[in-house]
Structure 1
Amino acid sequence: MKDNQRSLGIMTRCQGSRFVDKGYYKKLTLFGRKRGIRVFVFSPRQVNFAARTVAGFEYRNGAWQSDTFPLPAFIYDRCFVGPAYRHYKPFVEKLQNDRNITFLGYGLSGKWQVHQMLIQSPQLAPLLPPTELFSFSSLQETLATHGAAVIKPMAGTHGIGVVRIKECRGGYEVSGRNRENQPFRRVLKEGGLKQFVTSFTAGRKFLVQPYLHLHTPDGSPYDVRVLVQKNGKGEWETTGKAVRIGDKRSITSNLHGGGRAVSLTPFLSRHYKPAVRARITQTIDRLAVELPRFLEQSHGRLVELGIDVGIDTAGNVWIIEVNSRPGRTVFSMINDPDAKFHSITQPVRYAHYLMKERVGGY
């Protein structure tokens, strides 16, 4: 097998030698090395397609070293989507169309597209909140029907730009996180809502949903992060589950917004009666099995998913968001060493499986 056939390129956005998640990529590199796989980090903008090489970074001798590598046969896409992604997208697509390169998985394109796929599943559709493309009229309709609504950016992360709007005497209370991820709250008079949302959403596409009461009895917002990944046999597996609890001043539970993480079972035991708890656990386990398989049929190959699950005060389970480039910090925070270890090593195990599949064993 050629050297590049045993190589795994972690594709991410690099600014010179600066890139995020260095600690995670270091662990991937060291685990890959034990499996005879060369792992390195690169930016899609640094590919020389004519020479079939790429400038990147490899962890060796205790530090990240720059080097030029042959184009890897396998790519782990960690190129986070955001406003700057348009500068990377043409290069990513060219790599995806290269017949000699296998992506471990293809990134999901956005919340609306994911919703449109999942709503086709009879099992998953009842767990999806009613969702519309944002317009002022769709917001007005949601407020008229439900009394409170949430608007969220279609390509947002970490709870940034998620805003709750609810009716109050003489106007609306608006709260959430701004583009700098700072919490805010203000009361707008009847005529001020349109001006606010027009300004707030300018230049970006948003979704509108009814506001769901996804919080503890004392008012702390929370959700459940379920990490599912392909294993070394090419099969989906649930790596771990954890509860993320947000600040009471926030409407979201994201760790980047000052949240904390706790283990799922004791958390459910504190807040729900046994029968409700059993129903919640059963529903989460069922969607963890059903969702990745169904989504992969519509979308194409996936390697891992972070599924964010909301549980309302009545114990109803909701699919809030699905992320194809999930973080895994949460498992360190709840002290779950097995989930932490598997969350880091499964992408390499899956790459190893694909390498064996490609050549019929080696």
Structure 2
Amino acid sequence: MSQRPLGMTCIQAWPGTQEKLLSLPGEWHEHLKLHTQNRRDEITIRCGNRETVAEVVFTDEEDVQATDALRVELLLPKGKIAVKALDGVLHFGPFVGLYCAPSEHPGKPFGGLTSLFRDMMPLADELGVSLYVFTPGDARWKEGWVNASIYNRQTKQWQKVKRPLPDLVLPKILGTPPAWREEVLHDTKQFHHLVTHGTFNDATGNKWTVHQQLEKNPAVTRWLPETHRITQPGDVEAMLLRHGSVYIKPAFGTQGMMIYKLDLLKSEDPAQAKSTPSQTTARSVERPPAGNHVLVQHRSKSKSLHRRFHFASPALRTFLKKHFLAKRTFLVQQTLPLLTLRGGRPVDFRWLMQKDGTDTWRVTARVARVGAANRLTTNLHTGGAAVLAETLLQKNGWPDLKSRRRLLQDLDDAALAICQTLETNTGRIGELGLDFGISKLGEVYLIEVNPRPGRQMLLDTSPDLRRLSLLRNLEYAKSTTGYQP
């Protein structure tokens, strides 16, 4: 297969005729396969999944002129677009689809992702990427086109346009809304059959699968807390005996929801019974002392749970079965002795790792997330706040530049090794959000991996980094589809 990126061009109208004609820069001539029909030179042209043959004229202009008849057949928009030659066929693209669930919120057709998509549109134009948004049911797979949404910067409105099927899909659905389950399943199947380059990210959102993949690599196990899938109440009880404190979370879950914390408390020790979640550290317990209890805590926006059970009692086991062995898969993970701030505010760190246009892993952003006082999680959706990681470390235990940079380098090294390990096991990965914990001694632990990281924390800390994160998505999409020089 012969493939050559030809750079970018600007598609302009060729007025006054209904024939399928286009003019091309003369330097492209040697890369294209010409067919002569009735003394006319013709070439094959593709846009996404759409293909046609058109008469071609080579000029000394950099822009491309195309007749309306040609553009309508190919669904080729005017404006900047990248170009490549593949086995003598001219390709315009890439057509990249942002796939998400619709929203009924006024002014936000794609919910909380609306502003993100809007800000990606002009960046895509700069790179010659034809970017659009589509939702479940928008793709006409059999007919070969998409009822797509683009943002019109002149009118400041979203508008519907017809576009070819995407060359690459960026799935942005976090969990499948029940109302769209059948459409999402159908679309997902088509991504593998009818989208030339599939999806942007093959990484799984299953935390247990991710842990198993990482656990097989001795080079990364030192960053992994002990973690097990819950198959019976005894799995939780055994972890409590070993560590004294554990977290329970769903194998599939986002935004810090459905997180529980269990602490093994000695009833004869009143101080332990009053400990807060952030003050409890991991400890080893060989056997439960007489009369000890398990404190169960769960907090979310809508509810707060504090319950106490006798260790290994029928009531505790019934609770564990009801909540963690019914429908969803849950994991139990040791509580780590992590850094906390004054007032019992938990801290963790998000490393945004992305591939750039050269298919190389880069650290795009290093962010610290500070949870509300005595919260179980640091997620922004549950009251957390974001600050640049180096700033937080400088003010909380690492004032020395050399030691602080050494810790940041340790986190960079861990992030790179984890990304490379997952990529080896999974396939293509364009970006990952890695959540780390740090102990007061500077020990690094991986908390979890997010295959579809959000950008809100970057909006709160550094708009420039947010812009860079969007650019890298587009550069990687352009590289993956063969349009990046």
TM-score, reference length from structure 2: 0.69
Verify the 8 A CA contact 1:217 1:313 in the aligned structure 2.
no
Match for 1:186 among 307, 311, 327?
A: 307
Structure 2 letter corresponding to 1:296: E
Shift of 1:262: 1.4
Verify the 8 A CA contact 1:276 1:315 in the aligned structure 2.
no
- Greater helix share, structure number: 1
Distance in structure 1 (CA, Å) of the matches to 2:156 and 2:391? 39
DSSP 3-state at the match of 2:366: strand
1:32 correspondence with 2:120: no
Verify the 8 A CA contact 2:356 2:475 in the aligned structure 1.
yes
Matched residue, 1:258: 383
Distance in structure 1 (CA, Å) of the matches to 2:372 and 2:261? 15
Q: Which has the higher contact order (CA 8 A, sep 6+)?
A: 1
Matched residue, 1:309: 436
1:152 correspondence with 2:243: no
Structure 1 runs (4+) deviating above 6 angstroms are none
Matched residue, 2:397: 272
Match for 2:109 among 18, 31, 41?
A: 18
Q: CA RMSD in A?
A: 2.3
Verify the 8 A CA contact 1:82 1:155 in the aligned structure 2.
no
1:177 correspondence with 2:299: yes
Gaps of 5+ in 2: 1-44, 49-92, 268-291
Distance in structure 1 (CA, Å) of the matches to 2:469 and 2:458? 8
1:199 correspondence with 2:322: yes
Structure 1 letter corresponding to 2:340: T
DSSP 3-state at the match of 1:280: helix
Count of residues in Structure 1 that have an aligned counterpart in Structure 2: 357
Structure 2 letter corresponding to 1:288: A
Gaps of 5+ in 1: none
Q: How has the CA–CA distance of structure 1 residues 331 and 100 changed in structure 2, closer, same or farther, with 3 Å as cutoff?
A: closer
Q: How has the CA–CA distance of structure 1 residues 45 and 115 changed in structure 2, closer, same or farther, with 3 Å as cutoff?
A: farther
Matched residue, 1:240: 365
Matched residue, 1:129: 225
Distance in structure 2 (CA, Å) of the matches to 1:181 and 1:237? 38
Verify the 8 A CA contact 1:272 1:315 in the aligned structure 2.
no
Structure 2 letter corresponding to 1:250: R
Matched residue, 1:354: 480
Verify the 8 A CA contact 2:367 2:387 in the aligned structure 1.
yes
Matched residue, 2:169: 75
Moved more, 19-28 or 344-353: 344-353
Distance in structure 2 (CA, Å) of the matches to 1:181 and 1:285? 36
Q: How has the CA–CA distance of structure 1 residues 162 and 138 changed in structure 2, closer, same or farther, with 3 Å as cutoff?
A: same
Distance in structure 2 (CA, Å) of the matches to 1:280 and 1:185? 36
1:111 correspondence with 2:233: no
Which structure: larger Rg? Answer: 2
> Matched residues, percent identical?
28
Distance in structure 2 (CA, Å) of the matches to 1:198 and 1:211? 21
Moved more, 256-265 or 15-24: 15-24
Distance in structure 2 (CA, Å) of the matches to 1:240 and 1:252? 20
Shift of 1:227: 0.4
Shift of 1:117: 1.0
DSSP 3-state at the match of 1:173: strand
Match for 2:187 among 91, 94, 104?
A: 91
Structure 2 letter corresponding to 1:271: N
Matched residue, 1:343: 469
Moved more, 27-36 or 252-261: 27-36
DSSP 3-state at the match of 2:121: helix
Match for 1:216 among 326, 340, 344?
A: 340
